[in-house]
């Protein structure tokens, strides 16, 4: 019932596939009806909307999309805007730090959890619970903790540690680290779970062999186990990376881009120009740059994973 309602709503997008559908029309009809939402999503949203955005990023659309082509002017203006350049720089800096620390801490915690420790499930429960929360919740809690007057800094000073400074949220040079602390709080547990699954997937025989050969444990991890976990590591990098590019809610809740524009990010720039400033062309050009970033991450991965020979089914 529900899917037919959606189908009729987006049926217009499927007229182009008529020939294809008619060719094998008598065969397997219910499956095609069941897959219609997927086909519509792929054709209309993932392909259609993306192409639309790229196309209209070359126009001078302001309050409404318009057809006047202006070439790369939106992009020139984009990279001439300090707010955008700050956003890109922030994303690169935050992204690099976030990727390194999420993977590093995630792996460290997974290794520690894999040492046949007690209370393993309690530790895991505590490490993963932030991942269940909204970025808005995460951002607001850390905003309160990092409140310079009444939060951690004020508390430590009141307790007698007068020089204690933790004003990262109000300090343009440190605000990205404030974002990082909140981002890691939410994401490290998830990375740990992925890594732990990878570690548990390593055959116990390999550990025995390494022990018989007298190889130190840390060496076994670096030379044997990590290369064997390539699949999990690549997946983790892709998932964390695509999450970083989308970074939006956390910034809105924690700093709202401030102080000044020192913690702006591209996703926020896109949103503000599309729905706030009424300059759609700018927003679309910024969105296209985000798409390009993801493609730069995704294409090598897709090539590594699915290039060469076809996927196993």
Decide whether 179 or 270 has the Cβ nearer to another protein: 270
Decide whether 92 or 302 has the Cβ nearer to another protein: 302
**Mind spelling out the 3-state secondary structure of 155-180?**
HHHHCCCCCCCCCHHHCCCCHHHHHH
Nearest distance in Å: CB 106, another protein: 11
Q: Which residue has 């808005």 as its token pair?
A: 136
Nearest distance in Å: CB 173, another protein: 23
Decide whether 178 or 194 has the Cβ nearer to another protein: 194
Cis status of the peptide bond prior to 52, with omega within 30 of 0: no
Nearest distance in Å: CB 241, another protein: 9
Nearest distance in Å: CB 230, another protein: 12
Nearest distance in Å: CB 251, another protein: 11
Decide whether 48 or 172 has the Cβ nearer to another protein: 48
Phi/psi class of residue 119: alpha, beta or left (left: φ > 0; alpha: ψ in -120 to 50)? left
Taking the C-alpha atoms of residue 282 and residue 124, their distance in angstroms, rounded to an integer, is 44
Decide whether 85 or 242 has the Cβ nearer to another protein: 242
In which element (H, E) is residue 6 found?
helix 2-9
Taking the C-alpha atoms of residue 126 and residue 119, their distance in angstroms, rounded to an integer, is 11
Decide whether 176 or 293 has the Cβ nearer to another protein: 293
**CB burial string 24-45: b at 16+ within 10 A, e below:** eeeeeeeeeeeebbebbeebee
Nearest distance in Å: CB 221, another protein: 14
């Amino acid at each position: 019932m529900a899917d037919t309602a959606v189908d009729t709503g987006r049926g217009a997008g499927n007229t182009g596939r008529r020939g294809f559908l008619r060719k094998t029309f008598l065969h397997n009809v219910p499956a095609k009806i069941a897959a219609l939402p997927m086909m519509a999503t792929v054709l209309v949203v993932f392909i259609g909307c993306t192409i639309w955005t790229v196309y209209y990023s070359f126009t001078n659309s302001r309050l409404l999309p318009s057809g006047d082509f202006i070439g790369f002017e939106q992009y020139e203006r984009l990279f001439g805007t300090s707010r955008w350049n700050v956003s890109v720089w922030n994303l690169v800096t935050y992204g690099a730090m976030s990727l390194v620390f999420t993977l590093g801490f995630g792996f460290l915690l997974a290794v520690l959890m894999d040492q046949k420790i007690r209370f393993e499930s309690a530790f895991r429960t505590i490490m993963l619970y932030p991942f269940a929360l909204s970025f808005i919740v995460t951002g607001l809690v850390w905003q309160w903790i990092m409140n310079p007057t009444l939060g951690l800094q004020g508390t430590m000073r009141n307790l007698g540690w007068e020089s204690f400074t933790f004003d990262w949220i109000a300090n343009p040079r440190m605000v990205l680290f404030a974002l990082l602390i909140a981002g890691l709080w939410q994401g490290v547990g998830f990375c740990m779970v992925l890594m732990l699954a990878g570690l548990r997937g390593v055959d116990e025989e390999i550990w025995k062999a390494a022990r018989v050969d007298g190889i130190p444990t840390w060496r076994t991890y670096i030379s044997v186990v990590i290369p064997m976990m390539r699949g999990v590591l690549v997946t983790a990098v892709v998932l964390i990376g695509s999450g970083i590019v989308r970074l939006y809610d956390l910034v809105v809740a924690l700093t709202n881009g401030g102080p000044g524009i020192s913690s702006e990010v591209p996703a926020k720039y896109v949103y503000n120009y599309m729905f706030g400033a009424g300059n759609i062309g700018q927003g679309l050009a910024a969105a296209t740059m985000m798409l390009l970033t993801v493609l730069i991450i995704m294409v090598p991965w897709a090539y590594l994973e699915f290039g060469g020979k076809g996927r196993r089914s």
